[in-house]
Amino acid sequence: MSNEFRATLHLKFMGRHLMMLPPTYQSHDPNKMAIIYYSLCGIAATDKTQIETKYSKSREFILAHHKTIELKDDQKICTISGFIGTLTLDFQDNKVITINLSNTLFALLSLRILGETSFFENSKHKRHIGNLVKNCQLPDGSFVSSLDIDNGFKPSPVDSKDLRYTYMAISILYLMGSRSKQDFNEFIDVDLAVKNILNHQTLLGAFGEYNEPHAGYTSCALSALYLLNRSLNVLSESFKSKTISWLVFRQLSNEGCSKFQIDSNPSFDEADNGGFQGRPNKFADTCYAFWCMNSLKLLTDDWKNLIDTSAVLNYLLKTTQNTLIGGFSKNDDDDPDIYHTCLGIAALKLLDGSFDGSLCIPKYVSDTMVL
């Protein structure tokens, strides 16, 4: 098999996800904005002219998901705004608060990809979206994704708080123009947020919940710290080098002593050679090639000289790229899906230098976001 990147097939695969979807997608209704973002991001990274010719008119459609809500209680008045993920969650009079951080981030990234600029320059939008992020921060510095549907001053009582939402909160503020600590502090408590991120450092490097390291959370933590001040200097040198080595060990091999696991390790697969896993002793998975390489790239400029880049290219192009219907799958046996397609392409583009990993958009898009 050749290891050529099948651009045309992938564009078709992603394009199909932006067209009419059958009722089987109903259970994904609340995550529709995520599907839109993964598709647009993958398309833009593959062929930006398609964005201009086919999709740029859809800005209005995405903007229809932007909701502004006046909050009032006995002492305070505050206006928040953000995006809903589907119009099923559009409660016209805004008595029920359904905007959240993940849909807001996916919508903002999609708008950036589609070339929208005026939305981002509007100072009211900056303030109102900043207020949403502000209300999502908890006293320990962490973030939830949504607010209580009945009281927008309070975080949702049923949301999880984890590093994904910290990353989203900070990325949203960055997209809306925050750059200096002072900018971020206008809406969130930066020191507390950083302290909370640092509390998720694990003993042997990397980040995770309750000391179990995880490549996805590691990428969220490092990207968030990086967006806050374009450096990772709050991390100690020893933690950085432990994290680099933890990440390097996520690349799987079927050579040398690794082979001893063939019969004994139920999560070992020789076909995983070159791919990355999210945690020790798990199978390789396309998306972790992105999360691990993005983390490494943030930690050191020398990242490509620390991993076997040709092995990861082979893994993505020969093992998880689908050459019949396009797209990338999670591993060598699943069907392709839009999330792994976007992240598989992102991983490849990170390697050729055309993808901005900390913002998760093609580099040509983030290049337009000069301060």
Partner 1 sequence: MTEEFLLKFQDIKPTPIQTDIPNELCQILYTKEYANLMGVTRTLMNNREHSKRALELTSVVIEIAPAFYTVWNYRYNIIHDMVLQLKDANQEKVIEFLNKDLDWLDELTLNNPKNYQIWSYRQAILNLHPKPDFKRDLPILKIMLHDDTKNYHVWSYRKWLIDFVKNDSLFDFNIELNFTNIFIDRDIYNNSAWTHRLFVIKTNPANKNIDFNSKLIQNEIIFTKKNIHLCPQNISSWNYLIALLDWLNNGKATDDLIEFASQFVSDFFSNTAILPNIQSSYALEFLADQYKLDPKRINDSIKAYKALSTKYDPIRTPYWNHLIKGLS
Minimum separation from the CB atom of position 40 to partner 1 (A):
8
Cα 275 from chain centroid (whole Å): 19
* Of 76, 119, 128, nearest in space to 97 by CA: 128
Q: Does 145 bind partner 1 (CB under 8 A)?
A: yes
Q: Smaller CB distance to partner 1: residue 2 or 305?
A: 305
Q: Which of the residues 199 through 218 are near partner 1 (CB under 8 A)? A: 203-204, 209-214
Only segment of 26-34, 112-120, 146-154, 286-294 that touches Zn ion (CB under 5 A): 286-294
Q: What radius of gyration, in Å, describes the C-alpha atoms of the chain?
A: 21
183 binds, among Zn ion, partner 1, none (CB under 5 to 8 A by kind): none
Tally of residues, the chain: 371
21 binds partner 1 (CB under 8 A): yes
Residue 21 · residue 321 · CB < 8 Å: no
Give least dist CB 341 to partner 1, A.
14
| From 6, 10, 14, 32, residue interacting with partner 1 (rule: CB under 8 A) | 32
Q: Contacts with partner 1: how many residues (CB under 8 A)? A: 83
> Of residues 46, 100, 178, 358, which one binds partner 1 by CB under 8 A?
100
Q: Does 66 bind partner 1 (CB under 8 A)?
A: no
Q: 94 is in the binding site of which of Zn ion, partner 1, none (Cβ under 5 to 8 A by kind)?
A: none
Instruction: Give, as ranges, the residues between 119 and 138 that touch partner 1 (CB under 8 A).
Output: none
Among 71, 311, 339, 363, binds partner 1 (CB under 8 A): 311
Partner from Zn ion, partner 1, none contacting 21, C-beta within 5 to 8 A by type? partner 1
Residue 276's contacts (CB-CB under 8 Å, 6 or more residues apart) are 215, 250, 251, 252, 284, 285, 288, 289, 291, 292, 293, 312
Q: Is 279 in the site for partner 1 (CB under 8 A)?
A: yes
Choice from 11, 28, 50, 240 touching partner 1 (CB under 8 A): 28
> Closest Cα partner for 286 from 341, 208, 215, 349?
341
Q: Which CB, 285 or 356, lies closer to Zn ion?
A: 285
Q: Is 287 in the site for Zn ion (CB under 5 A)?
A: yes
Q: What's the burial of 143, exposed, middle or buried (CB within 10 Å: 0-12/13-18/19+)?
A: buried
Q: Within positions 312 to 371, which residues make up the interface with partner 1, using CB under 8 A?
A: none
Q: Which residues pair with 155 in a beta bridge?
A: 147
Cα 112 versus chain centre, distance = 15
Pick what 16 binds: partner 1, Zn ion, none; C-beta below 5 to 8 Å, kind-dependent: none
What binding mask, one character per residue, do residues 328-347 give for Zn ion by CB under 5 A, x or -?
--x-----------------
**What six digits make up the tokens of 124?**
């009211």
Q: Which of 319, 347, 314 is nearest to 333 (CA)?
A: 319
From residue 301, alpha-carbon distances to 1, 231, 306, 357 in Å are 32, 12, 10, 13
Say which entry of Zn ion, partner 1, none residue 185 contacts (CB below 5 to 8 A, set by partner kind).
none
Using a 10 angstrom Cβ sphere, with 0-12 exposed, 13-18 middle and 19 or more buried, the burial of residue 169 is buried
112 binds, among Zn ion, partner 1, none (CB under 5 to 8 A by kind): none
C-beta of 46 vs 320, nearer to Zn ion: 320
Question: What long-range pairs does 368-371 form, CB within 8 A, spacing at least 24?
Answer: 368/112, 368/117, 369/112, 369/175, 371/179
Residues that bind Zn ion (CB under 5 A): 285, 287, 330
